[in-house]
Amino acid sequence: MDSGESAGDPTDSKVGRLIETYGLSGLGEELAARWTAPADERSSLRELADVFNRRLLSAALEDAGVETIDGDVESVYRVLTDDVSAGVRTETKRRLRREGVDVDELESAFVSHQAIHTYLRTYRDVAYEPDERSPERQREIERDRIRRLRRRTEVVTEDAISRLAGSDRLSVGDSSVLVDVRVFCDDCGTDYTVDELLDLGGCACTET
């Protein structure tokens, strides 16, 4: 793999053009390094697309003179790209427009994981070469991914409840959100938490 010289003019790709337009110096090298990193540190193409789009959003806000604090970019990006209410999205877009951000142009600039893949393979000449991992290590990697998704679901739910309660659209006292992921084996009827199943390495009914 060669993450140095590009295989063509990067500005022939959408990702490359945006890096140049928004002055995102070094981001191309970072994307290549993160995609080809060892398995424990590697970022997926979807994760890299989110990284790229957040940097793009941050640059757009900076260009418009919008002052941000820690968490602002992540919060705005979630509203623009995640499953939030139409009212919240509309209000956020109005606020951005008042502050001089061309929201339509910004949203059309956001890239997909396919665009990241094309940029890395065609214009940076790098490719991900999966390493050989033991079943135990692969399960640990997937366990970490599930935990991150579970925590994200908790955070999104907590935020939704807080906003609804704060606007008198939901009546609730002090509350906690718990996301429990379980796996049900249709063959034998055994029910596991996902951690239990991963620890065991499989359902008991598959043992011979």
| Residue range 70-92, pLDDT digits in tens | 678 988 999 999 878 888 889 99
6 pLDDT exceeds 70?
no
How close are the terminal C-alpha atoms of the chain, in Å?
Answer: 42
Q: List own/partner pairs for 94-99 with CB under 8 A and 24 or more apart.
A: 96/66, 99/64, 99/65, 99/66
Is 140 in the same domain as 118? Answer: no
Cα four-point dihedral sign 178, 183, 184, 186: positive
Any domain includes 4? no
Q: What is the pLDDT of residue 132?
A: 59
Is 167 in the same domain as 195? Answer: yes
At 123-158, the pLDDT tens digits run 888 887 766 567 787 788 888 889 888 888 988 898
Distance CA 99, CA 4 (A): 38
Q: What is the pLDDT of residue 96?
A: 93
Percentage of residues in the chain having pLDDT higher than 90 = 44
Is 98 in the same domain as 145? Answer: no
Q: What is the pLDDT of residue 7?
A: 57
Window from 61-70, 73-82, 180-189 with minimum mean pLDDT: 61-70
Any domain includes 96? yes
Any domain includes 3? no
| Spatial CA neighbour of 56 closest among 78, 81, 73, 33 | 73
Q: What is the pLDDT of residue 45?
A: 93
Is 148 in the same domain as 169? Answer: yes
Is 158 in the same domain as 102? Answer: no
98 pLDDT exceeds 50?
yes
Range of the structural domain that residue 196 is part of: 136-206
Is 104 in the same domain as 145? Answer: no
Is 141 in the same domain as 116? Answer: no
Any domain includes 43? yes
| Spatial CA neighbour of 107 closest among 150, 76, 63 | 76
Is 117 in the same domain as 140? Answer: no
Is 119 in the same domain as 140? Answer: no
Is 148 in the same domain as 119? Answer: no
| Span 22-35, average pLDDT | 93
DSSP result, 74-92 = HHHHHHHHSS--HHHHHHH
Percentage of residues in the chain having pLDDT higher than 70 = 92
- Structurally, the chain folds into a number of domains equal to 2
Mean of per-residue pLDDT scores for the chain: 87
Any domain includes 131? no
